[in-house]
Amino acid sequence: QLKCGNCGEVSEKWQYLRLMDSAPLKGGRGSATMVQKCKLCSRENSIDILSQTIKPYNVSLEPVDFQPQAGFAAEGAESGTPFNDINLLEKDWNDYDEKTKESVGIYEVTHKFVKC
């Protein structure tokens, strides 16, 4: 969920960002991953994903909550086995690594936002 950097309004619905998305910024100032108008104050805000970092622009959309979805990837620590298209909606994931003959998983996903 995102918060308007101008008036503080928090979106009611989840907003989904993808690295490959791009929308033009007003006035031809480039582009960002997401550009949206605040429903409360009508200010245009934008947010951009730069590699593995999410960076707010302009007045900014500030992330206030995160819900992982599908599209994550992992690699077996000992075997190097690739695991693609991991769905973390339930915040847990498990599979079996044939190379090591062991169960692998991601459990209790957490997150935090740090202002820079």
Domain ranges of the chain: 1-51, 70-106
Cα separation of 5 and 12, whole Å?
15
Residue 45 φ/ψ, nearest 5 degrees: -120, 160
Side-chain-side CA neighbours of 84 within 13 Å: the count stands at 1
Residue 28 φ/ψ, nearest 5 degrees: 70, 30
What is the model's pLDDT at position 29? 80
pLDDT digits (tens, 9 = 90+) for 88-113: 988 899 999 999 999 999 998 888 77
Q: Report in angstroms the alpha-carbon separations of 35 from 11, 21, 26, 48.
A: 14, 10, 9, 9
What is the model's pLDDT at position 21? 87
| Prediction pTM value | 0.62
Q: What is the DSSP letter of 28?
A: G
pLDDT digits (tens, 9 = 90+) for 14-66: 888 877 888 898 888 888 888 989 999 999 888 887 766 655 554 477 788 88
Phi-psi region of 77 (alpha: psi -120 to 50; beta: other; left: phi over 0): alpha
pLDDT digits (tens, 9 = 90+) for 73-82: 999 999 999 9
What is the model's pLDDT at position 59? 45
